[in-house]
């Protein structure tokens, strides 16, 4: 259900807490729009089927890589400060601009600086309307005007973000036919909500999805989401003073925790978004060189590359595994798995069962099909044995 009724009941108030950024005097219920976007990214809900302007086709495997994105600028009061911070940290980011913000030479200079410093200049439409609700002609002009502004600045228009992530299938098709990659986000920092409240308070009435513990903590809220997803595309707005204020601390925390920064055009992090084949998904039993390669979605941080030298061999090999007690996950198209001990009974590790998928272990270098006992640990799993691919 969309909640637009208050706009009709209270037209005088709509320009205050409910209207979106931009200056066309349009009525968009920002709270409803961002809450719908959140529901699409977090809960997998989309009332438009596969035409969400928010959902990014790459859902995992970010390996601690973060793409910072800044929408709704340029704003001469804040965007230069954002650029200063990014420059200090050597970070390449993406700026989704609104053409209506480019009013004169001051803004054009900012666009030139965005490009000169290596960032991506991207299209966020002219006037920040809800493009799901405009005519085909209006949609075309909203896209084209900012397209022209990017070209004039010397940029290459390639990425488009729908205001509020709000798209219809027809609008999506129009934008893609123009050659754009529609780019949503994985993490909404909700800086727009924190910017609205007194003292940086993001009210439940403005954005209900922020947990109470983070109602005054833009940095904490953003980090909690980045940690949960192990990276991804993060939505900010370079038009808010509180975003500028929090950014240095947030970046320092990300750096301390081992995150690195990429553009939305990074094919290793976002292959599907950029239209390249994703790397093969490794799983328990697959050959690997390092832990990061085994970062499969179902087990993220816990997955590891078990390195070993096969008996009598003068080389090392590796296979992906997971800590376990009693049970292990399976993945469609891969060998079934089994929890065993690889260290004489101290800890459990998932290994592949001998199976036609792995040619009865022949496809897993350095292993042979061996009967092994289940590692039970503290679990309530029953004792069992299975024919598994054990390192030799
Ligand atoms: Zn926006």
Q: Model confidence over 213-242: pLDDT tens digits?
A: 999 999 999 999 999 988 999 999 999 999
Q: Are residues 21 and 141 in the same domain?
A: yes
Q: In the beta sheet, which residues pair with residue 308?
A: 317
H or E element: which one contains 233?
Answer: strand 231-237
Mean pLDDT across the chain:
89
- CA of 49 relative to ligand 1 center, distance in Å: 22
Of the candidates 254, 261, 322, the residue with the CA atom closest to the CA atom of residue 62: 261
Q: How far apart, in whole angstroms, are the C-alpha atoms of residue 293 and residue 109?
A: 42
The pLDDT value recorded for residue 14 is 33
The pLDDT value recorded for residue 303 is 85
pLDDT in tens, 51-80: 889 999 988 878 889 999 999 999 999 999
In this structure, is residue 269 part of a structural domain? no
- CA of 72 relative to ligand 1 center, distance in Å: 5
- Residue 237 is among the residues annotated as catalytic for this protein: yes
**Pairing label, strands 159-160, 181-182:** parallel
- Alpha-carbon Rg for the chain, nearest whole angstrom, is 25
The pLDDT value recorded for residue 10 is 36
- CA of 164 relative to ligand 1 center, distance in Å: 6
Give the domain extent around 339.
291-391
Q: Are residues 88 and 129 in the same domain?
A: yes
Of the candidates 299, 288, 301, 359, the residue with the CA atom closest to the CA atom of residue 327: 299
The pLDDT value recorded for residue 158 is 98
Cβ–Cβ contacts within 10 Å for residue 77, how many?
12
Tokens of 219: 């940095």
Q: Are residues 310 and 248 in the same domain?
A: no
The pLDDT value recorded for residue 9 is 36
Greater confidence (42 vs 298) lies with 42
Q: How far apart, in whole angstroms, are the C-alpha atoms of residue 183 and residue 308?
A: 41
Instruction: Report whether pLDDT(6) > 80.
Output: no
- CA of 349 relative to ligand 1 center, distance in Å: 46
Any idea which of 5-19, 111-125, 138-152, 156-170 has the lowest mean pLDDT? Answer: 5-19
Catalytic residue (choose from 124, 128, 186, 237): 237
Catalytic residue (choose from 29, 71, 72, 265): 71
In this structure, is residue 267 part of a structural domain? no
Q: How far apart, in whole angstroms, are the C-alpha atoms of residue 86 and residue 82?
A: 6
| Angle formed by the axes of helices 136-153 and 169-177, nearest 10° | 40
Q: Are residues 187 and 56 in the same domain?
A: yes
Looking at the structure of the chain, the number of domains it has is: 2
The pLDDT value recorded for residue 160 is 98
Q: Are residues 101 and 240 in the same domain?
A: yes
Q: How far apart, in whole angstroms, are the C-alpha atoms of residue 110 and residue 128?
A: 19
Instruction: Report whether pLDDT(38) > 80.
Output: yes
Pick the last residue of a domain from 243, 261, 279. 261
Q: Are residues 49 and 156 in the same domain?
A: yes
Residue 23 backbone dihedrals phi, psi, to 5 degrees: -135, 35
Tokens of 2: 């969309």
Q: What is the DSSP string of 161-224?
A: --GGG---HHHHHHHHHTT-EE---SEE--HHHHHHSGGG---TTT-TTS-GGGTT-HHHHHHH
Q: Are residues 225 and 311 in the same domain?
A: no
């Amino acid at each position: 259900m969309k909640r637009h009724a208050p706009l009709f009941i209270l037209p005088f108030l709509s320009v205050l807490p409910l209207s979106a950024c931009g200056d066309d005097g349009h009525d968009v219920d920002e709270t409803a729009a961002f809450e719908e976007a959140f529901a699409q990214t977090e809960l997998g809900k989309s009332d438009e089927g596969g035409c969400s302007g928010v959902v990014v086709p790459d859902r995992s495997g970010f390996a601690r890589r973060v793409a910072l994105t800044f929408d709704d600028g340029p704003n001469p009061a804040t965007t230069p400060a954002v650029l200063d911070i990014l420059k200090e940290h050597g970070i390449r980011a993406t700026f989704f601009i609104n053409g209506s913000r480019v009013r004169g030479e001051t803004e054009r200079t900012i666009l030139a600086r965005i490009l000169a410093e290596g960032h991506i200049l991207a299209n966020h439409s002219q006037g920040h309307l809800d493009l799901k609700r405009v005519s085909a002609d209006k949609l075309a002009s909203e896209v084209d005007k900012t397209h022209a502004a990017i070209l004039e600045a010397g940029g290459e228009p390639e990425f488009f973000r729908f205001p509020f992530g709000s798209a219809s299938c027809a609008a999506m098709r129009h934008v893609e036919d123009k050659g754009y990659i529609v780019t949503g986000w994985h993490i909404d920092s909700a800086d727009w909500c924190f910017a609205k409240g007194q003292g940086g308070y993001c009210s439940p009435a403005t954005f209900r999805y922020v947990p109470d513990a983070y109602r005054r903590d833009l940095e904490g809220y953003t980090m909690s989401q980045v940690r949960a997803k192990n990276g991804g595309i993060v939505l900010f707005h370079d038009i808010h003073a509180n975003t500028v204020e929090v950014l240095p601390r947030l970046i320092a925390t990300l750096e301390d925790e081992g995150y690195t920064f990429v553009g939305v055009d990074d094919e290793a992090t976002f292959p599907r978004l950029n239209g390249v084949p994703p790397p093969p998904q490794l799983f328990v039993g697959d050959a690997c060189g390092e832990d990061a390669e085994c970062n499969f979605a179902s087990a993220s941080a816990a997955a590891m590359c078990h390195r070993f030298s096969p008996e009598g061999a003068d080389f090392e090999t590796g296979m992906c595994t997971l800590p376990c007690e009693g049970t292990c996950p399976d993945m469609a198209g891969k060998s079934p798995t089994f929890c065993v001990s690889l260290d004489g009974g101290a800890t459990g590790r998932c290994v592949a069962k001998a199976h036609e998928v792995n040619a009865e272990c022949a496809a897993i270098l350095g292993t042979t099909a061996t009967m092994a006992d289940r590692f039970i640990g503290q679990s309530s799993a029953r004792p069992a044995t299975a024919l598994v691919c054990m390192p030799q």
